[in-house]
Amino acid sequence: MIIKNYEIEKNINLLDKYNLILFFGENLGFKNEIKDKIKDKKKDFEKVNFSQDEILSNNEILFSEVLNFSLFDKNKIFFISQVNDKILTTLEEIKDKLKNQQIYLFAEILEKKSKLRNYFEKSANAAIVACYNDNEIAIKKIIQEQLKGFNNLTNQTINLILNSSGLDRVKVDNEIQKIVTCFINKEIDQTKLETLLNIRENEDFNVLKDQAFIGNKIATNKFMSNTFIEPEKNIMYLNIINQRLNKLLEIDKITKNGRTEEAVNSIKPPIFWKDKATIILQAQKWNKTKINSILEGTFNLEILFKSNSQINQTILLKKLLIDICHLANV
């Protein structure tokens, strides 16, 4: 049974009637939030955690936990991480042995042809929730909801948080916690906020990214030589690039008869005034075909970055920026 992620956010109780629930996709922040909500809702339950590898190496550990249950034991819920098609046989064997117990499974990206995904989508007794990356509108809504009651929560402030986190829900939560801790009186000071979020550190990369999207080869090479790209922030840098690609895609959809500036001025939520001139230049050079080409590249890079820590991510990120700069001029 397919359940939409926004339905779960509104009502976590929708999961109660299923014994097997699978969350899959790249949005780690959403999965962590849901896991915390489940734990909080079932605070009196014993929580049992396994990885798929632990279960596959010894099937009995899961069966033992499920079957060895007495009236004096706490109710149990199970969390199984890093699952894929290999666990399907185990689930088919154990599903009829589950009484009031629930097993929550967490997977990375599962292709449409995945046997595990198909099993959950077609089953009336199991639930599957896709956890895809958030878009800009969704992240802005999260920021507004979590900082409700704070003064000076302007569009500019929200954009600062957005740019700092790069559409990553985990990073958004971290940045919001910093703000809540720092501004106890709920008065947000713009200058202090920029320092708190290390905005200055990300500015050089944003300039580099902007020059690449404009197609300015000389400036791109200059800033690439002078900008320190922190390896541990490579996923964030990819998210910043994706954020701009999605904005350009949105502009392309509403641009009529080449009137780019008109489209940029009419977009909602409004673009920060300091960024307008740059985005107009970029939008004039990027169409749907070119944007989708780079989006596919960033998607593949993110999977590669998360699955292979041995590769030189910074070199691949710089190559992506060079490709963007080249494609802007095609």
What per-residue confidence (pLDDT) applies to 311? Answer: 87
Residue 287: pLDDT above 90? yes
Residue 202 is predicted with a pLDDT of 63
H or E element at residue 31: helix 28-41
Fold observed for domain 5-130:
Rossmann fold (3.40.50)
User: 245 vs 67, 219, 241, 287, CA distance in Å?
Assistant: 51, 20, 6, 10
Please check the confidence at residue 254 and state whether its pLDDT lies above 70. yes
- CA 301/CA 319 separation, integer angstroms: 11
| 3-state DSSP assignment of residue 124 | coil
- pLDDT tier for residue 309 given thresholds of 50, 70 and 90: confident
Dist. CA 178–CA 6, nearest whole Å: 26
Tell whether the model's pLDDT for residue 249 goes beyond 80.
yes
Range with top average pLDDT, 98-102, 130-134, 289-293: 289-293
Q: Taking the CA of residue 30 as centre, how many other CA atoms within 13 Å lie in the half-sphere pointing to its CB?
A: 27
CA 275 to chain centroid, in Å, comes to 24
**pLDDT tens digits, 166-219:** 677 777 888 888 888 888 888 888 778 877 776 655 667 888 999 999 999 999
Q: Band of the pLDDT at 227, cuts 50, 70, 90?
A: confident
- Return the residue matching tokens 């639930």: 127
Phi/psi-derived region of residue 82, left when phi > 0, alpha when psi is between -120 and 50, beta in every other case: left
pLDDT on residue 212: 94
What pLDDT was estimated at residue 317?
92
> Taking the complete model, does pTM exceed 0.95, yes or no?
no
Going from N- to C-terminal start, the domains of the chain cover: 5-130, 136-197, 200-328
Dihedral sign for Cα atoms in the order 83, 86, 92, 98: negative
252-259 long-range CB contacts below 8 Å, 24 or more apart?
252/283, 252/286, 252/287, 252/288, 252/291, 253/288, 255/283
Q: What is the pLDDT of residue 163?
A: 73
pLDDT of residue 154: 83
* Beta strands 102-107; 46-51: pairing state: unpaired
Residue 109: count of CB within 10 angstroms of its CB:
18
The pLDDT assigned to 201 comes to 58
CATH top-level class of 200-328: mainly alpha
pLDDT for 72 beyond 70? no
pLDDT band at 245 (very low <50, low <70, confident <90, very high): very high
| 70: pLDDT strictly greater than 60 | no
pLDDT on residue 316: 93
Same fold? 5-130, 200-328: no
